[in-house]
Amino acid sequence: MPHDLFGTPVIAAPMAGGTSTAAFVEAVHRAGGLGFLAAGYKSVAAMQAEISTLRESGARFGMNVFVPDPAQLPPPASVLAELEDYRLQLRTDSRRYGVELPQLRLDDDDEWQGKIDALLSDPVELVSFAFGLPGPDVVRALQRAGSAVLATVTTAAEAVQAAGQGVDALVVQHTSAGGHSAAFLPAPEPRPAYAARPGGTTAELLAEVRSAVDLPLVAAGGIMDAAGLDAVLRAGAVAAQLGTAFLRTDQSGAKQLHKDALADPHFTRTRLTRAFTGRQARALENEFVRDHPEAPEAYPAVHHLTAPLRAAATAAGDAERLNLWAGTGWRKAQAGPVAGVVQGLLASR
């Protein structure tokens, strides 16, 4: 695969939950970047509608798909017990808003196969995967259909496993990234040097992965400006994938409450938490994160359990109970048009 496949060093991350809309991805394209749609939390029909909208606009784009975790289907008995305990803990939050907590829902993306079938019958240029690997048969089928396939990895060990499935490129996600960690293998012991040191960087993780595999690498995590972009390109990345840098933009589909929180000096740090979804994700530290430090590791069951609470927090304008995904560089996130962010990133190129 040629290193210029992306045509730009600036890639807008697929941000599920309504942020990466078709309008947002088109705006990124018009500004000189490349955006990815997010199939997560969407039906097959909704995914196809967004693809159709972007095709009509003439924009280049990719599609990201969550890989279901077979280990969570169904969860072990011990995790089920933890989930029931967590449901009891959440009653205080539900009473705050006068909403009912749902019964436990244990299924993952039940439309996984439908999404793969849709992408095979109507291929898009780029397909990326997060939370795991799709399997070599899926990779080969997508490639035969005309798509380049990317896997998201967080360690050199994951990169080796992904390369073994025949993917075309890797998105290398550092722990400084906002939102969900894409990790799918247990954390190595001892931990790599880049992760063990407080100053471990995305560029150092890139070096670890580059020494393990010979694939084009896209850097993700903590990249907010031209200096950050230049750093990862010098470290060997062919492009950078940015999410938090785009969250406050006009075309971002993020909730206004979320956008405002990113600029609110009341929030002073980010933290990895399972409180909202049952999967480690980096968010601004708010009351909900502090109140639930021991949320069970059970995605997507926790995601479904907290959904009505997050919706109620949004309706109430309560940023203290909302999932405010943010990378460690969130203070540099800019409001205004997407074009301003992309142009700032590309200013020195």
Mean predicted lDDT score pLDDT of the chain:
93
84 token code pair: 């029931």
Range from 15-24, 65-74, 226-235, 306-315 carrying the lowest mean pLDDT: 65-74
The secondary structure of 145-189 as a DSSP string is HT-EEEEEESSHHHHHHHHHTT-SEEEEE-TTSSEE----SPPPS
**In the numeric block, which tokens belong to residue 251?**
């075309």
β-strand partners of 273:
281
Laid out side by side, the sheet with 179-180 consists of 179-180, 281-284, 270-273
Which whole number is the average pLDDT over 62-87? 87
CB proximity list for 137: less than 8 A, separation 6 or greater:
none
From residue 23, how far is each of 6, 129, 183, 249 by CA, in Å? 19, 22, 29, 12
Round to whole Å and give the CA distance between 78 and 80. Answer: 5
Which residues, at least 6 apart from 160, have a Cβ–Cβ distance to it below 8 Å?
A: 212, 213
CA-based nearest residue to 254, from 8, 11, 9, 23: 23
Digit-coded pLDDT (tens) for 201-248 = 999 999 999 999 999 999 999 999 999 999 999 999 999 999 999 999
Confidence of residue 78 (pLDDT cuts 50, 70, 90): confident
Of 196 and 301, which is predicted with more confidence? 301
Asked whether the beta carbons of 181 and 279 are under 8 A apart, the reply is yes
Is the distance from CB of 267 to CB of 260 less than 8 angstroms? no
Confidence of residue 1 (pLDDT cuts 50, 70, 90): very low
Please say whether the beta carbons of 25 and 58 come within 8 A. no
Q: How far apart are CA 312 and CA 273, in angstroms?
A: 20
pLDDT band at 73 (very low <50, low <70, confident <90, very high): low
Please, are residues 287 and 321 in contact by the beta-carbon 8 Å criterion?
yes
Contact between 221 and 327 under an 8 Å Cβ cutoff? The reply is: yes
pLDDT of residue 2: 36
Half-sphere exposure of 25 (CA within 13 A, CB side): 28
